[in-house]
C-alpha cells in the first residue's frame, strides 16, 4: 500500500539543524510511492549536502535560481508547475518571514511565490529555537501564512540542539509523512465528530492481577487514524495498550469496562459517530481484593463475577441515537459462526451497522478480514492491512451518513 503513489512532492529545505531530518523524510516519501524533487537554500547546504539529498531523492538537487540546467532558465516556474505539493521542511523563522513578505531572493522562495496557488498547496514544517517560535513576530507570520493559504503542520516539543527544551522542534519524519498522507486524503467525514473505543479492558482481581483479553487495539487505532484523515474530529477512548496516538486524535486512556463506559458516555454528547471497536470484558470480579491474593496450597480462591455494562447498547439506545444524531457502529469478535453471531448481535444491540471478525485470527496482528452486517445482509471485506480496512470502513460509514441525510 503506497499512500502517495503518483504524487510529486517538491521538498524544500531552508537553513536549520533540522535539515538532518529531511533525509529520513525524503526516504519515507519515496517508500510511500511519491517522487521527490529537493530544492535547498544556500543556508540549508551548510547543514546537509546536496549530494546527500540527491542520492536519497534519486534526482538532481536545485539550489540556485540561476541554474543553467533549466532550458528556459526558469527553474522556479518549471519546478512549481510539476508539483502536487511543496513541502518546506525545515522552515526556518527567517524563511517564514520571507514568505509572508513575498520576498523572492533565492530559488526556494521564488518558487513558493510563483506556484499556482489554486492547485499547488504549500505545506510548512517550522523548525527553530523555542524563543524564536514563541516570539510575537513569528506567531504573526504563522497566522499570516495560514491566512494566505499555506498549511502549517505545527511543531514538536522537546530537547533542542541549543540545549534548551520547549516548542519549536520540527516534527519527526513519520509525523510529517502522516500529515501529508492525511492532507491528500478525501475529506469524507468533514464536519463529523467520531468517537472510537479501542483495545481491551482490564478487570482487577487484586492490585496485581486481573481479567483481560488478547485485543491489541490496532484495529481501533487504525480506524481513529482513518477517520482523522477523512477530516473528522476524532476522540479515541483506549484501554491499556502500548500504541502511539494517531496524529491529530484526542486520546482518553481508561483501564476497566466501567472506566470505558464513563468515558464513552461523557464523550458521546459531542459525537456524531460512535465506533465501538474495543473488546470490552463481559464480566468483572464482584469484589476485588485490596491486597495481592496469596497462593496457600488450597487451590484457587472462589471468585464471584458481575456482568459489565453494555457500552454499545447504552449509546445505541440513547435519545441522540434514536433521533439520528449519533450513528453507532458495533464490532463483534467471534471464534466461530461469524455471520450468525454478528447478525444476532446487530439485532440485539439495535445498531445500523455491525462489523464482525474472527478474534483469534486478528488479535495482535497487523491485518484482518471484516464482515459488514446491516439490515440488508452482509458484505465480506477480504483480508488486508488494518489501516486499509479502516479506510474502507470509514468510506462506507461516510456513504451511509450521506444517504441518511438525504
Q: What is the dihedral of CA 177, 214, 238, 236, to 10 degrees?
A: 50
What is the C-alpha to C-alpha distance for residues 221 and 279, in angstroms, rounded to an integer? 13
What is the C-alpha to C-alpha distance for residues 1 and 392, in angstroms, rounded to an integer? 13
Strands (E), 59-202: 85-91, 122-126, 151-152, 156-159, 165-169, 193-198
Say if strands 273-276 and 250-253 run parallel, antiparallel, or are unpaired.
unpaired
SS3 321: helix
Dihedral-angle region of residue 169 (phi above 0 means left; psi in -120 to 50 means alpha; beta otherwise): beta
What is the C-alpha to C-alpha distance for residues 47 and 18, in angstroms, rounded to an integer? 8
> Which grid coordinates belong to 258?
466501567
Alpha helix segments (H runs only) across 242-322: 257-268, 311-316, 319-322
DSSP summary character for residue 45:
G
H or E element that contains 30: helix 19-31
What is the C-alpha to C-alpha distance for residues 395 and 401, in angstroms, rounded to an integer? 10
What is the C-alpha to C-alpha distance for residues 188 and 282, in angstroms, rounded to an integer? 34
Choosing from 19, 26, 112, 162, the catalytic residue is 162
Percentages of the chain per state (helix, strand, coil), in multiples of 5: 35, 25, 40
Catalytic residue check, 112: no
Give 159's strand partners. Answer: 165
What is the C-alpha to C-alpha distance for residues 211 and 213, in angstroms, rounded to an integer? 7
What is the C-alpha to C-alpha distance for residues 380 and 78, in angstroms, rounded to an integer? 46
What is the C-alpha to C-alpha distance for residues 213 and 202, in angstroms, rounded to an integer? 8
Phi (first) and psi of residue 99, to 5 degrees? -65, -40
> Which grid coordinates belong to 49?
549536502
- Catalytically active residues are 162
Amino acid at each position: 500500500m503506497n499512500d502517495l503513489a503518483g504524487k510529486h512532492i517538491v521538498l524544500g529545505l531552508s537553513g536549520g539543524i533540522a535539515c538532518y531530518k529531511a533525509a529520513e523524510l525524503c526516504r519515507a516519501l519515496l517508500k510511500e510511492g511519491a517522487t521527490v524533487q529537493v530544492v535547498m537554500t544556500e543556508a540549508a547546504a551548510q547543514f546537509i549536502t546536496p549530494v546527500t539529498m540527491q542520492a536519497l531523492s534519486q534526482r538532481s538537487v536545485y539550489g540556485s535560481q540561476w541554474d543553467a540546467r533549466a532550458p528556459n532558465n526558469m527553474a522556479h516556474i518549471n519546478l512549481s508547475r510539476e508539483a502536487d505539493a511543496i513541502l518546506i521542511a525545515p522552515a526556518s523563522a527567517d524563511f517564514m518571514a520571507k514568505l509572508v513578505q513575498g520576498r523572492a531572493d533565492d530559488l526556494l522562495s521564488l518558487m513558493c511565490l510563483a506556484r499556482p496557488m489554486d492547485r499547488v498547496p504549500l505545506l510548512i514544517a517550522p523548525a527553530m529555537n523555542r524563543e524564536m517560535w514563541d516570539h510575537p513576530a513569528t506567531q504573526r507570520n504563522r497566522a499570516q501564512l495560514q491566512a494566505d493559504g499555506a498549511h502549517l503542520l505545527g511543531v514538536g516539543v522537546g530537547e533542542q540542539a541549543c540545549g534548551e527544551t520547549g516548542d519549536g522542534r520540527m516534527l519527526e519524519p513519520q509525523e510529517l509523512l502522516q500529515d501529508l498522507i492525511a492532507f491528500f486524503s478525501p475529506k469524507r467525514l468533514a464536519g463529523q465528530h467520531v468517537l472510537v473505543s479501542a483495545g481491551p479492558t482490564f478487570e482487577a482481581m487484586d492490585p496485581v492481577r486481573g481479567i483481560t483479553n488478547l485485543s491489541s487495539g490496532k484495529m481501533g487505532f487504525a480506524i481513529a487514524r482513518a477517520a482523522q484523515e477523512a477530516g473528522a474530529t476524532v476522540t479515541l477512548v483506549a484501554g491499556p495498550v502500548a500504541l502511539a496516538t494517531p496524529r491529530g486524535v484526542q486520546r482518553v486512556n481508561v483501564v476497566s469496562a466501567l472506566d470505558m463506559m464513563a468515558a464513552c458516555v461523557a464523550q458521546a454528547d459531542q459525537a456524531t459517530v460512535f465506533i465501538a471497536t474495543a473488546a470490552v470484558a463481559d464480566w468483572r470480579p464482584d469484589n476485588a481484593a485490596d491486597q495481592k491474593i496469596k497462593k496457600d496450597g488450597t487451590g484457587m480462591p472462589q471468585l464471584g463475577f458481575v456482568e459489565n455494562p453494555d457500552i454499545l447498547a447504552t449509546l445505541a439506545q440513547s435519545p441522540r441515537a434514536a433521533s439520528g444524531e449519533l450513528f453507532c457502529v458495533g464490532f463483534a469478535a467471534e471464534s466461530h459462526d461469524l455471520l450468525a453471531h454478528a447478525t444476532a448481535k446487530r439485532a440485539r444491540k439495535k445498531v445500523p451497522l455491525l462489523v464482525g471478525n474472527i478474534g483469534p485470527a486478528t488479535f495482535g496482528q497487523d491485518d484482518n478480514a471484516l464482515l459488514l452486517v446491516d439490515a440488508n445482509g452482509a458484505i465480506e471485506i477480504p483480508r488486508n492491512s488494518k489501516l486499509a480496512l479502516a479506510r474502507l470502513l470509514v468510506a462506507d460509514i461516510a456513504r451511509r451518513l450521506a444517504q441518511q441525510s438525504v
